[in-house]
Structures are given as structure tokens and as C-alpha cells.
Chain A
């Protein structure tokens, strides 16, 4: 019967029309049709991305600047992590094709070995993506600032390390003269975003949740550079401001006492990297792809259980592995395009 992968396929009546279309089995052809339609979905998403990007022009973030961090190593590794993710996915595609090849030789042990490795690769990829998302959401040390003229700039340079906070005015939880040494960066960024930071000419003073005011002991920021990403009255997209001027206008913005002058990381409404749509496309495209990878891992696990039980061996062929393999390669294929169009160009 068509659709049912049985041991015997009647060649007299394979698909009801006595001929098997394209000389393929029903299951494989339907998988191909599904992949064709799914590829159009991804194609649509990437084209929408291209449209938005071309209409935003210079305001759009540059991949190698946005994604330049490595786990445990910090900044300064442009695109290396994404390349590693790409490599992991390619390798898991290779183990999948080796599993299919073992299936053609009815080598059950081989199928199990390579399929299990494919699943491991899939988990590694999903995990990497979780790290990438977390990093994207939390953002950089500087964030993006809104300057006095209304323009918005991303900040580059070396962020001076925060050593400690010293309480100068007591609040509900802290006494005067107390030194705070925990969770410094997080507290500092929170105060920046809320506009609860001032400068008295000597050091920055920030107000904590409990109402206490602390003075910040922090090394100076070095090599500060502001790159304008949204037009203002004075500065236009693409302008780069360095040196003393950069320090002055940066200070003016962050110590203004106004809320939302500094944005860190990303959410669905705003992000520090570029236009609003950039964050939305990042979440949607990589998220949709990540969901595909996750589904693929689950499907692979189900098929692996079938292989271990010997279901397909009894059937006389490992076509199920081939079908899940097609889906898995497709996921890899989509990532190759996402990698190029989202990160590289």
C-alpha cells in the first residue's frame, strides 16, 4: 500500500497508477515536497530580512561587530563562534549521511553509532544557540546611548573595570561607608538604563534600589569611539566620534539622569545593535531555525529507538533513517544560508 513502508512493495500497483512517480518511494517524495515548501518559508523570511536591511542601509549592524564573543574567552573573536556552530552542524550532517550509508549495508550497529553521534551534534548546536541568544539578549558592557541631539550611537572601546561601590548616603539596606563588591556590572548597567547615575566631577554616583547612594570606583574607559546608527540633529548615520569629544558627549548622555538613554542587549522592542527590526529578525529567523533543529533532534531520537529495537532491520531496509536524514540535511542547508546572510554579508 502506498504510504506504508512495508517489506514488500507491489510493483504492479505501487502508487495506484501502476507507476511510481519519479521512481521514488512515497515517503521520500513526500518528505521532499515538505522540504520544498519549508524552504520557501525560510526563503520568504530571508528575503524579508534583505528588504528591511536594504531599506535601513548604514544603520544596519555589522555581523562581525555584533557577534564577536566566545564562551570563556570574551570579546575580539569576530564570527568565530558562529563558524564553530556551522561546523558542528555540518559535521552532524556528515554523521547522518554515514548513518544512511550504513543502513544501505544493513549494518545495524553502524546506523546506531552514527545516528547517536548526529543527535549529540544536534544537542551541541541547540546549546550553542542558547548561549548565542543569551549573549545577544544581555548585550555588551557599553550598550547603545542616545546622545543629546537625539541621535543614537553604539559605543566601542575598552570598558574600564568596576572595582567597588562605596556607600556615601545610607539607604534601607546599606550603611554609610560600606563597600559593595558583588554584582557590580549588573547593578551599574541597571542604574545607567534607569538614569539613576550622576557625576559630581570626581566620580560617578548611583542610586541603588534601597535608596542608598554609592560612589563608583571604576577604571577609566579607554579608546572610546561612538558610531552613529540613528540620525540626530547634529550627528548623522555613519559618523564616527573619537577622543575627547567622544568622552564628553558620552558622559553628557549617560549622566543626564534620564531614563532609557542607555540600552543594553536586546528584546522585541529595542536593541543596542541597530534598528528595531534587526532584533526581531534575529529572534525570528534563528529561533525558527533552532526550533527546526530541536524538532530534528527529537525525530532522530525516535528513529534511533526504532533502529535499536530492530524495527527497520526486520523490515529489510532503513528507509526511515533516509527520510529523517533528508530533514536533517535540510536543517543544515538552511543554516548555511542564515550564516551567510545574517552573519557574513
Chain B
């Protein structure tokens, strides 16, 4: 019986010079973006001090910019964006669910432990 649900794949994922040109252009655009984001982060960090009232917003900006950078590295440089959808989510889902949960728990708990140490002594 012929099966039509088998997806074939090949190691010969070659492309020609014209496609290469397009791909390289994309790579350099991503490079520019990552560099600009890093510069913005450093300038923001140098300009706004940690005791200023704007600092919490700067902090959130840093985290958003980091996730943006990470997204471009994983999806573009590591070509995860070009893989099958199911593979993409097998790799990304653990982080989206697990890490966010852990960060929330650990930081909240950490702050409480800090308060307890302050009140009752180490």
C-alpha cells in the first residue's frame, strides 16, 4: 500500500546564488537590529540610574528587548522559524510555560525570604 502521509526530507537543503543573496541580506538586517538593540540597552543603563523612579520601566524595557534579541537569534539564526510548527513548539513550549512560572515563583519567594531575614535576623 502506498502511504501518502510520509514526509520526506533531505539533507540536500541547498539553494542557489540568488536565494543566497536574499538570505545574506536578511542576515545582515538581523545583525543591524541586534546591534542597535544592544546599544539602546547600554545607553538606557548609563542614563537612568537604579534609584530613579523611571527604573522599573527601564527594567521591563530591558527584559522585552532581551526577549526580542533572543527571538531573532532562535528563529532566524538557528532557523527554528523554518522548521515544522510541531518541532518549534516542542522546543519553545517548555520555556513559555515552565520558565515563566519558575521566575514568578522564585522572585516572589525570594522577596519574602528577604523580608523575613530583615525582620527576624539572619
Q: Chain A residues in contact with chain B, CB under 8 A?
A: 5, 9, 11, 14, 18-20, 22-25, 29, 32, 36, 39-40, 43, 47-48, 50-57, 62-64, 78-80, 83, 86-87, 90-91, 93-94, 96-98, 101-102, 104-106, 316-317, 319, 325-326, 329-330, 332-333, 336-337, 339-340, 344-345
Contacts and interface: CB of A to CB of B under 8 A. Distances in A.
Contacts of B38: 83, 86-87, 90
18 contacts: A11-B6, A19-B5, A20-B9, A22-B86, A24-B9, A24-B87, A43-B99, A55-B111, A78-B46, A90-B31, A94-B27, A97-B27, A98-B27, A105-B16, A329-B73, A329-B77, A336-B69, A340-B62
B102 A47 contact: yes
A228 to B, nearest CB: 14
Contacts of B13: 104, 317
Contacts of B109: 51
Contacts, number: 161
A78 B43 CA distance: 10
A61 B102 CA distance: 23
B6 A54 contact: no
Interface string B10-21: 111111110010
Interface in B80-101: 83-84, 86-87, 90-91, 94-95, 99
B87 A22 contact: yes
A80 B46 CA distance: 9
A201 to B, nearest CB: 37
Contacts of A332: 73, 77
Nearest to B103: A47
Contact of A94 (B31, B102, B117): B31
Nearest to B16: A105
A333 B67 CA distance: 10
Contact of B106 (A47, A56, A80, A344): A47
Contacts of B39: 83
Nearest to B31: A94
Given A23-B7, A62-B50, A90-B38, A333 B114 contact: no
Contact of A104 (B3, B8, B20): B20
B114 A19 contact: no
Given A20-B7, A54-B111, A344-B62, A329 B102 contact: no
B107 A105 contact: no
B17 A105 contact: yes
Contacts of B15: 104-105
